[in-house]
Amino acid sequence: MEQIHYISPAPLTFEKLDDLLSQDIKVKLSEEATQLIQRCKDYLDNYLVQHDGPVYGINTGFGALHNRSISKEDLSKLQENLLKSHACGAGKEVPKQVVKLMLLLKAHALSQGKSGVQVLTVQRLLDFYNNDIYPIVLEQGSLGASGDLAPLAHLFLPLIGFGEVYYKGKKVSAQSMLKQEGWHPIKLEAKEGLALLNGTQFMSSHAIYTLLKAFQLSKYADVIAALSIDAFNGRLDPFKEQLHTIRPHAGQIETARNICSLLKGSEIISQENKQVQDPYSFRCVPQVHGAIKDAINYVAGVVYTEINSVTDNPIVFPDEEMILSGGNFHGEPLALAMDFLSIAMAEIGSISERRTYRLISGERGLPEFLVANPGLNSGFMIPQYAAASIVSLNKQMATPSSVDSIPSSNEQEDHVSMGGNAATKALKIAINVERVIAIELYNAAQAIEFRRPLKTSTYLESFLAEFRKSVPFVTEDIIMYKEMEAAVEFLQSGQFDEFNS
């Protein structure tokens, strides 16, 4: 039976978005959304018939050209020109899953009935979504101020028969795609181009995609840290509940509980004659991983509000009989949040790399570089180099984008958020962090074998057994990049992302 999600004013949740990305679920406009969209469109059309005065972006130019009046005969051409002129993106193509989210989020925002668009326009966005038609959107070009103008222009060019799309797995012209589907280009009416381009869906879609990855990586970071703690013959004392109830940050308490649960029943952790103290990268996992969890949850709250908001301009209020030009398209909330997420994600990688280093350093009975004959074999020396390189890059990329602003549109747009850059960088950092913790897993799995015949916990032994199906134990030097990549793919499979805490 076909699964359907109905686009409506009801809030989108991260759980629903995850389902939509991972499952074959079609989307349709609900009856409520259809009525809201049509009612707003009718009000706008009547308003333009009854009023001759300027309304920004509807019968005027845009940005610094807001004082230029446009005749009624040219209102459609004005909107078409807007899409063409603003499609000035640059750089790499945006991942298809992010483009899919952009289509969904724009349709969801327009379904609130505050944007003055045609039902047909929204329906065509859903047609793209349901038929896996992905417009080519380029990564660079958004200032995150008047919305994500350049990337959204690329996203919606195919509506009017321009630009390129991925269609049936191939890159083709939008004109060719429309012809094959038997669709006519949308004839944009008053305000529609502006409603499509003004909005934060480029930033928001990157934020969702990054957060879904961050939720998973945060869980994996705890699992892999627990394995490293046992491999390093660490102490359980720093994770006991009493320590954390007197500094009750939610993430800290959750992390300490997770580590205790993950190591429950371990023969290694229960040994006597431990070192008096462990290095910070082991001992302070609750404080560091916990703060990262709290940061991720904060960012998720900001993004949840944003994706369920109306962010174009001007905004039409049929019930109040008002059309208001404001600044809901400004990306500052997302810019600050995504910079925060970048910093938090970079810290997962930073502390992970330090644990990797301690595992290969020849401490606590482990052989140098985790091989039986170091010297002849370099063992796990260079995977740590790779992790260090990635961590350093993350630190550079975590420099906030939101502290910068470059005026545009002849100073009409004199403060911008740079949220587009913040959002794309955050995704790159999350992808890098996935690789860094995969390298830690590769090292910790190797190190734990030198603790045999003692076993770690039942959960971690099961986790290791599954990992070993993809990545073997290393007895002497091999070419390691394939195993490192296999470790990344293991994490991406998501088979062990849940455990009982």
CA dist., res. 193 & res. 84, Å (int): 10
Omega prior to 286 cis, within 30 of 0:
no
Distance of CA 430 to the CA centre of its chain: 8
In 3D space, the residue among 207, 386, 381, 235 whose CA is nearest the CA of residue 303 turns out to be 207
Whole-number Å distance between alpha carbons of 404 and 395: 18
Q: Quick check: bond before 453 cis, omega within 30?
A: yes
d(CA 489, CA 467): 10
Sign of the C-alpha dihedral computed for residues 238, 243, 249 and 250 taken in this order: positive
Distance CA 422, CA 402 (A): 7
**129 among known catalytic residues:** no
Catalytic residue, from 43, 47, 56, 167: name it: 56
Give me 89's structure tokens.
Answer: 């993106």
Q: How many helices (H) and strands (E) does the chain have?
A: 18, 9
- Report the C-alpha gap between 41 and 194 in whole angstroms: 14
Alpha-carbon gap, residue 346 to 289, rounded angstroms:
11
User: Would you call 167 helix, strand, or coil by DSSP?
Assistant: strand
Q: Which residues are catalytic?
A: 56
